């Protein structure tokens, strides 16, 4: 039984299928679009992927005059891309691709049989095709059965599949988490054996796959998979390092289990999820045992430095990396609120969090994974109170754009000085006044500036 949504896609592509058929070629809807339609998860605007026995130059000719635009950048890999209306299409010649032992790029060869193409795909649940026009499902590797059984397997032996493209080992984590699939024993054993081969894959591809894992509804099962198979050692070694052994005297919760729980507690926002994943990576380096048990003093500072180093290695965009580093550095700041925060402290908290205040508060809430209901309620109530205080100050002043009451031009004119370090020092002094006391107004700020200038002289 083909889901109605898939039947709609078949109807929408009937004219394209007829063009390929008229040219003497077969056309198949393939991969994720077939899988997602079967499990009723297909997005209305999903891009369509096809495979065909037509060579790239033939596909280009068939698409010309039908599509609104055609792109040939992937032609040497067998792919011709097109757009018609609001939908994007990719038509790829049946192919087999594999990495040579020392290469970061796949070698591509073409095939005339769809079964050969499907055999080279990553998992059986992705190795299904819909022959067009019509609704015949080509499923030589029992992907439908595996979907129904909640099982993750590779079409060929996992060692062969992962040798073809080692990134598939990391992609397995996303399918385990995103589709609630259980990997079969052979797949798990192959990942444990072949994990070092991931190092031949470009870091950009690894990063993109990790990012996709982090934004599935609940990445927990995938994160456990990469930690327990040794896969994370080759691109995110800080994660398995969190599995600190329980000390028989100084009992404390497993930091790895806590971290994965925090990630699961957050919404699927990439910056927030990455911050949750890295927020405690400084703990192993700062772990100490004392009379009161284990402690991790300043792990947020150490962790922020480690986060910057790791995200740099993962080729993360600089702005996004700095946001995660800031969130890791600030994730414990809230807990000083237990002693009571002044308005000045709240201003500094908002200023330091900047545009990521909302994420910081969400990370702080998610960081509470205690099973102690009374403790959890106290922390939640405290955060509620802090957010109310922030809202109160927002009503009274421009809390989200805190700046000195005088600008640089006013400082130079009043003090009669040119652009210099002294201007910056004056502005820093005025900003501290603003944070400590709130808006002062130009007259009061000028009076304080005169006092500071006289004392400085």
* Among 81-95, 309-323, 379-393, the range of highest mean pLDDT: 309-323
* Confidence (pLDDT) at 339: 61
- Per-residue pLDDT of 223-254, as tens digits, reads 999 999 999 999 999 999 998 644 444 445 68
Give pLDDT tens digits for 275-323. 999 999 999 888 777 776 677 777 988 999 999 999 999 999 999 999 9
Report whether pLDDT(16) > 80. Answer: yes
Other Cβ atoms less than 10 A from the Cβ of 171: the count is 20
Average pLDDT over every residue of 394-421 = 78
Between the alpha carbon of residue 343 and those of residues 157, 199, 328, 378, the distances in Å are 63, 50, 23, 21
Mean residue pLDDT across the chain: 87
pLDDT of residue 58: 94
Tell me the average pLDDT across 419-436: 81
The pLDDT tens digits for 167-194 are 999 999 999 999 999 999 999 999 999 9
pLDDT given at position 249 = 41
Give the DSSP H or E segment for 321.
Answer: helix 318-330
Residue spans of alpha helices (H) in 92-249: 114-119, 143-149, 158-164, 167-178, 185-194, 203-214, 220-228
Whether 59 shows a pLDDT value over 50: the answer reads yes
CA distance 165 to 163: 5
Cα distance between residue 172 and residue 321, in whole Å: 25
Whether 212 shows a pLDDT value over 90: the answer reads yes
């Amino acid at each position: 039984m083909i889901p109605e949504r898939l039947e709609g896609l078949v109807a929408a592509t009937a004219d394209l299928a007829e063009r390929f058929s008229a040219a003497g070629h077969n056309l198949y809807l393939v991969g994720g679009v077939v899988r997602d339609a079967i499990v009723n998860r297909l997005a209305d605007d999903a891009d369509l992927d096809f495979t065909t026995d037509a060579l790239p130059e033939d596909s280009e000719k068939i698409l010309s005059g039908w599509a609104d635009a055609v792109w040939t950048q992937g032609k040497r890999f067998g792919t011709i891309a097109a757009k018609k209306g609001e939908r994007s299409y990719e038509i790829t010649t049946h192919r087999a691709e594999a990495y040579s032992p020392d290469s970061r790029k796949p070698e591509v060869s073409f095939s005339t049989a769809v079964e050969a193409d499907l055999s080279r795909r990553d998992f059986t649940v992705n190795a299904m095709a819909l022959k067009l026009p019509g609704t015949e499902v080509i499923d030589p590797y029992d992907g439908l059965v595996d979907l129904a059984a909640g099982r993750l397997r590779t079409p060929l032996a996992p060692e062969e599949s992962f040798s073809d493209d080692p990134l598939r080992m990391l992609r397995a984590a996303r399918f385990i988490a995103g589709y609630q699939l259980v990997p079969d024993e052979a797949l798990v054993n192959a990942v444990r054996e072949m994990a070092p081969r991931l190092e031949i894959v470009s870091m950009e591809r690894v990063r993109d796959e990790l990012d996709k894992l982090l934004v599935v509804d609940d990445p927990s099962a995938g994160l456990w998979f990469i930690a327990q198979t040794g896969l994370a050692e080759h691109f995110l070694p800080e994660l398995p390092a969190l599995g600190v052994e329980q000390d028989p005297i100084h009992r404390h919760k497993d930091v790895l289990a806590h971290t994965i729980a925090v990630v699961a507690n957050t919404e699927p926002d990439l910056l927030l999820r990455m911050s949750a994943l890295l927020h405690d990576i400084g703990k192993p380096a700062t772990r100490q045992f004392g009379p009161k048990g284990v402690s991790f003093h300043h792990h947020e500072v150490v962790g922020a430095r480690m986060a910057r180093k790791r995200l740099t290695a993962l080729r993360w965009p600089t702005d996004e990396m700095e946001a995660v580093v800031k969130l890791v550095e600030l994730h414990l700041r809230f807990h000083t609120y237990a002693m009571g925060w002044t308005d000045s402290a709240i201003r500094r908290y908002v200023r330091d969090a900047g545009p990521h205040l909302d994420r910081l508060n969400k990370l702080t809430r998610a960081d509470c994974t205690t099973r102690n209901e009374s403790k959890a309620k106290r922390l939640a109530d405290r955060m509620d109170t802090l957010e109310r205080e922030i809202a109160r100050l927002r009503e009274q002043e421009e809390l989200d754009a805190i700046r000195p009451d005088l600008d640089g031009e006013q400082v130079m004119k009043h003090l009669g000085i040119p652009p210099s370090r002294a201007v910056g020092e004056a502005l820093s002094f005025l900003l501290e006044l603003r944070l400590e006391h709130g808006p002062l107004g130009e007259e009061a700020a000028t009076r304080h500036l005169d006092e500071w200038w006289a004392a400085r002289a």
